[in-house]
Each structure stands twice: as structure tokens, then as C-alpha cells.
Chains A and B, each alone.
Chain A
């Protein structure tokens, strides 16, 4: 049987050697981090050495990196990506809102759109858009347009339609998810102050949806920049297509592909930085948003709810 006892003075252990409160503290050493850094640097050095000694002419890479054709091609790459992304976002929001509509016809239409365009390969869709003239030789909208389809669907239009409509089908699901995760209570509160469903959607739901899906939109932008290279297959003169046309002539295949890789990396890096600042801007009002943080951190960041894109 143990019973509670008042400690008598003699039972207190004698502790003469406890350090003072202001004793300096030394942090734990992290040998694992140093070892992995050394191994990592060694591997990186090996890789660099391999490429430096491999059969690749770096002077040619440097020479074509700023070649006019490549720069113009990259311009087209950016233009296609931007237009397709804008189209994708517009379609994503339109169909995403329809997916949550009370009207079953609208819901079904949005479902059908996602089913078709998310269910087939984007390269296939590009080829179909490019050859849509075989199905519909003329584009005729009374009072608006009456032209041969091949004149309307240029490689650029086909690329934007193919990539944008495909991206829209993914973003539809993203927007639907975003709308679904906006707090029900706020929607009820909007109703009780008399806001109509349209006002509630525009003023309360969509602004918060936008913040929720921004990381995914950033992913889409990065993905779009890369997927635009598929347009090379439909004779669109974007960067990859330009590179191909050059190396068919001069045979510097790998050099020109590396040129493209460098430009794509530069583009996606810029997008990532832009995404960071956009997220910070729209994070206002959200719990845990820090106004002062920078896009690159030396210290690991804890996984945020919206992070990890």
C-alpha cells in the first residue's frame, strides 16, 4: 500500500551540481546532414563531369540558347500556354459552377464535358481539333461567320483549343471541389442577409474558392507550359518545333533539346515565383498567413493545408 506522504526534509535528494539558469546551451550536431551533403555534392559533381565529358557540344547549346528562332518559338510557347490556360480557367469555372448547380440539366452537361475531355488523351484531342475540318468542312454561324474550317482552325487555334478545353475539364473538378469546401455556414449567412444564389456565389463562395484552388492553378500553369510542347506535333511553330526544325538540318539534336530544357526550366521557375506571391496575396484573412514570408526558404516549411503543390 502506498500512501501519500509529505516529503520530510531528509527525503529531498541532495543536488549540489545543478547548472545555473544562464548556462549557455549548445545545439545538437547533425552529422547525418553533413554526410548527406558531401555525398550529394559528390554525386552532383559526377553527373556534371559526365555531361561535360559526354558527346555534347556546349558551345552549340550556348549559341542556340539565344537564337532568334528559339526565342520566337519560346514566345509562341508562352502565348499558347497563356491563352490555353485562360480558356481552361474560364471553362473550369463555368463548368465547375454548373457541377454544383441545382438544375440537373446543367449538372449533367458539366459531367459530360468532364467525362469526354478528361477521359481521352490530350495529344489525341489536339490532333482531332487540328483535323476537325474533316468532320465540318465549313464553320457557319448565321450572321457571324462563314468560312472554311481549315482557315479558322490554324495550328495556333487548334493548340489553344486542344490544350485549353482539356485543361478546363480538370479544372472543372478542381473548382467543384473548391466550391464544396467553402464553409456551408457562410453561405447560409449570406442567404440570411438576403443575398441571392448568384450574389452568394460571386461575393462569398468564388473568392474563397479561388484562394483554395490557387496552388492547383499554379500546377496547371506549370503543366500547361510543358504540355504546349505537344503542339509541335501539329506543325505549330513553338519552341520544340523550332528546335526540331533546326536539328533536322544541323544534326545537333541533344544540344537543341537542352536549349529547350533550359528555357522550359526558366519559364516554370518564373511561374513558381509568381504563384508564391499570388498565394500570399490571396491568403489574406486566412489563419496562419504570414505577410512577410519570401518565396524561397532555407528552412523547411511545415506542410500547409494549401501547400505542397
Chain B
């Protein structure tokens, strides 16, 4: 399998607090990786470093053939102009914990915004593709609704369709079900399960241990800005070697 994402020595501090302490990671195309860990362990920050919403203090992330935000020139990493960074970022579909739908656009408007503005598709083309995607996430019937009229689960499914509309190489999910009422979690996980089955490369920061066990090809546990354990879900979740990972898992599984 060829590599989709490779993080090399990613470090990030907020003030004097070091959130990421030099992380390395490789994700292959078609792989589904779930990142678990207690709150404040740096999972979300790491995910945001992957698509350069946060800039690593040192180290870098290589995605789909290029280094995010930089160009390797001689012995330096030269910062890229914003337009080229955005061209890299759109290869990573991002799904946020709080959906972040464009409040002034309808469901359909949210999905066609990127394809029309960034990819330069004509409206009819963009809408036809968007309706397919909305159908895939079960939201085609609400295409003309505004985000404020939707439930959390519906918003998140629209957000997934919006990310997919850019035809990304990798999908990133930042705690996609954490802001949802418990009875709405299932519909979002169902959509994600479908994507995983379809061969989409996914990196999922989540607290849904059950989802990780069932869907992930590989699970990674972060504690205090370090990767403490990584491997097949069955192995990591059932017999973790690291004592702190064992403590964390026993707390969330109980």
C-alpha cells in the first residue's frame, strides 16, 4: 500500500504548554485510522496539524505527495503562498465537531460552495454532484433547508457531504459525534461506516470505542501529546501493553 499521510516529528506548543511532543505517523491509502485518548491529550490538535489549520512548531506533515504548507528547497522548508496551501488543504476533507456549516447558505448551498468557488464547476454540474452526495448521506430531502433548521446529526451529515464534494484524498474527522445528542450519534456513524466500506482513507479522532473496534484498520492512543500505543483495534483495545493506556481504556470501557 502506498502512503497517503506521513507526519514527521510534529511538535506544537500553546504558550509554555507543549501539546504535541514530536509525533510520527504513517497512514496508507484506503486505511481507516482511529485516534483515541483522554481529553486534552492533543488528538484534535494533531488532526488540525495534518491539514495545517494549526502550524506545527517543528516537524511537518506530508500529504498526498507534498509537504503541507511548505516547499522543500535545498536545506530549508520555504513557506508556501496561501493559494498553494489552500490547494493542498482541499485534498483533505475536514469534518468538525461543531459542524461549522455556512449559516447563510442552504444545505445544497453548503455543498456546492467549494466546488463552484474553488474547483470552478458550473452550478448545474456542482448541484448534480451535490445531490448525489446528499443522497449518499440521506439528506437529499432537506437540500433547501438552512442549517439552523436541522438537528445536529443532520448538520453533521451535510458537513460530511460538503467535505466529500471537494473529492479529497483523505477524510479527517475531528470528534464528529461528540456534540451530538446520544440518539443522533448512530446516523452519523452509519454514514462514516459506509465511507470506510467504500475504501475512503479516513483519520478519525473519536471517543466512540465501539466504532473504532468495528471499523478501524488501526487504532492509535494518544496521552499527553505522545503516541502511547498503536496497532490493530482488537489488540490495542483488548490487551494494551502501556499501563496508562490500560487505565484510560478501562475508564472509557466501564
Query: Is residue A193 within 8 Å, beta carbon to beta carbon, of the partner chain?
Result: yes
Chain B nearest Cβ from A176, distance in angstroms:
19
User: Which residues of B (83-99) have their CB < 8 Å from a CB of A?
Assistant: 83, 86-87, 89-90, 92-94, 96, 98-99
Does A193 lie within 8 Å of B90, measured CB to CB?
A: yes
Query: Is residue A207 within 8 Å, beta carbon to beta carbon, of the partner chain?
Result: yes
Query: Is residue A208 within 8 Å, beta carbon to beta carbon, of the partner chain?
Result: yes
Taking CB atoms, residues of chain A closer than 8 Å to B154 are none
Query: Is residue A203 within 8 Å, beta carbon to beta carbon, of the partner chain?
Result: yes
Query: Is residue B163 within 8 Å, beta carbon to beta carbon, of the partner chain?
Result: yes
User: Which residues of A (182-226) have their CB < 8 Å from a CB of B?
Assistant: 183, 185-186, 188-197, 199, 203-204, 207-208, 211
Binds B, one of A12-20, A156-164, A280-288: A280-288
Does A194 lie within 8 Å of B103, measured CB to CB?
A: no
Residue of chain B at shortest CB distance from A286: B148
Does B83 lie within 8 Å of A196, measured CB to CB?
A: yes
Task: Give bound CA distance, A196 to B81, whole Å.
Answer: 10
User: Which residues of B (131-173) have their CB < 8 Å from a CB of A?
Assistant: 146-148, 159, 162-163, 165-166
Does B89 lie within 8 Å of A286, measured CB to CB?
A: no
Query: Is residue B100 within 8 Å, beta carbon to beta carbon, of the partner chain?
Result: yes
Does A185 lie within 8 Å of B113, measured CB to CB?
A: no
Task: Give bound CA distance, A10 to B87, whole Å.
Answer: 79
Does A197 lie within 8 Å of B82, measured CB to CB?
A: yes
Does B103 lie within 8 Å of A183, measured CB to CB?
A: yes
Knowing A185-B98, A193-B163, the reply to whether A286 touches B103 (Cβ < 8 A) is yes
Task: Give bound CA distance, A211 to B104, whole Å.
Answer: 9
Task: Give bound CA distance, A188 to B228, whole Å.
Answer: 29
Task: Give bound CA distance, A188 to B96, whole Å.
Answer: 9
Chain B nearest Cβ from A196, distance in angstroms:
6
Does A208 lie within 8 Å of B104, measured CB to CB?
A: yes
Chain A: how many interface residues by the 8 Å CB criterion? 23
Q: Of residues A190, A195, A285, which shows the largest number of chain B Cβ atoms within 10 Å of its Cβ? A: A285
Taking CB atoms, residues of chain A closer than 8 Å to B119 are 194
User: Which residues of B (152-202) have their CB < 8 Å from a CB of A?
Assistant: 159, 162-163, 165-166
Residue of chain A at shortest CB distance from B166: A193
User: Which residues of B (108-129) have their CB < 8 Å from a CB of A?
Assistant: 113-114, 117-119
Taking CB atoms, residues of chain A closer than 8 Å to B114 are 193-195
Query: Is residue B62 within 8 Å, beta carbon to beta carbon, of the partner chain?
Result: no
Chain A nearest Cβ from B18, distance in angstroms:
23
Query: Is residue B236 within 8 Å, beta carbon to beta carbon, of the partner chain?
Result: no
Taking CB atoms, residues of chain B closer than 8 Å to A185 are 96, 98-100
Task: Give bound CA distance, A286 to B103, whole Å.
Answer: 7
Query: Is residue B102 within 8 Å, beta carbon to beta carbon, of the partner chain?
Result: yes
Does A189 lie within 8 Å of B103, measured CB to CB?
A: no
Residue of A188, A194, A208 touching B53 (CB-CB under 8 A) = A188
Taking CB atoms, residues of chain B closer than 8 Å to A191 are 53, 86, 89
Chain B nearest Cβ from A289, distance in angstroms:
8
Query: Is residue B216 within 8 Å, beta carbon to beta carbon, of the partner chain?
Result: no
Taking CB atoms, residues of chain A closer than 8 Å to B104 are 204, 207-208, 211, 284-285
Given contacts A185-B100, A192-B53, A286-B103, 6 further A-B contacts (CB under 8 A): A189-B101, A191-B53, A193-B165, A194-B87, A194-B119, A197-B82
List 23 A-B pairs, Cβ < 8 Å: A183-B100, A183-B103, A185-B98, A185-B99, A186-B102, A188-B100, A189-B94, A189-B101, A189-B159, A190-B113, A192-B89, A192-B93, A193-B90, A193-B118, A195-B113, A196-B82, A204-B102, A204-B104, A211-B104, A284-B146, A285-B146, A285-B147, A287-B148
- In the A-B complex, the 6 residue pairs with the smallest Cβ-Cβ separation, listed nearest first, are A194-B90, A193-B114, A185-B100, A285-B146, A192-B94, A189-B100
